[in-house]
Amino acid sequence: MLVFRTIFKRYILSNSKVILLLKVKKITLKKAEVSLVAEMIKKSEYLVVFTGAGISTESGLADFRGKNGLWTRRDKGLPPPKSKHFDEVEPNHAHLALVELQNQGKMKFLISQNVDNLHLQSGIKTNLISELHGNYKFIKCLECDSRFSRDEVGWIRDIHGRGSRKEPQQPNQPICEKCQGRLISSVVDFNDPMPEKEVELAKYHCFECDLMIVIGSSLSVFPAAKYPKLAKDNGAKLIIINIDPTRLDHLADLNIKAKAGEFLLKLMQELENM
């Protein structure tokens, strides 16, 4: 049995919830594309992966800029697409494939636009990921930049609010246990500054990588979307895996129109057989 399949089954058995996959249009995977990506990963010495909301649609979450995405529908005056809450979903094949690439030492770093916590939940190490837009599970200190889980500091949304930087601090909100500074949500809202540490880590690994794989991002949200271009400008090969066209398709060495989970499952099988 393939190692990846074993890991996926083990993950399912260790979690009581069942992974529910969104029904989206069927995409035919080309074996030549799978083989080519596998060969590029095998030759790479410093693989960095960049993920967007599209990697989580197969877990049951809506994306933002896809054809049926949240912002796409809003701009057309349509109601939001059906989507589960972050607390109701589990990592899918794509998330678990990245964990396996990490554990094998093939993926050196992960840059993500997602706030859904599915990368950490799947097993990505905290020192190997830059969450550019934060993580809904975490609160951070405005003074010392320490990060805590909501449970750790006793933050209850119905009592203490969202924790937005823009909202006035409430007297009953928990404070930082290290410096007594103000705690806010780690999620980056519109017009909020990007987290400095995450930004610097992302830049560093973009300069270091020789291969960047973008998964499930329209690459239309800046400044986060600039990082694949930064890697490409510094000599890295660029692969984009996304159902819909992206803003950087013209720069990519390889464009693959496929669902992330389906493609990465085939990719891991190909890597196992090499």
Which residues form the catalytic set?
Answer: 133
Question: CA dist 57 to 20, 163, 252, Å?
Answer: 10, 26, 23
CA dihedral sign, ordered 86, 87, 91, 92: negative
Determine contact, residues 25/260, Cβ cutoff 8 Å.
Answer: no
| Cβ atoms within 10 Å, residue 180 | 10
Instruction: Please compute Rg for the chain using Cα positions.
Output: 19
The residue count for the chain: 274
Residue-wise burial string across 42-69, b where 16 or more C-beta atoms lie within 10 A, e elsewhere: eebebbbbbbbbbbbbbbbbbbbbbeeb
Structure tokens at 244: 């819909």
Q: H helices within the chain, ranges in order?
A: 3-13, 31-43, 70-75, 93-103, 118-122, 150-153, 157-160, 196-208, 226-233, 260-273
β-pairing verdict for 183-185 and 138-141: antiparallel
Cα distance between residue 10 and residue 92, in whole Å: 13
Determine contact, residues 70/62, Cβ cutoff 8 Å.
Answer: yes
Order the strands of the 183-185 sheet from edge to edge: 147-149, 138-141, 183-185
Nearest-5° angle of CA 163, CA 169, CA 171?
Answer: 115
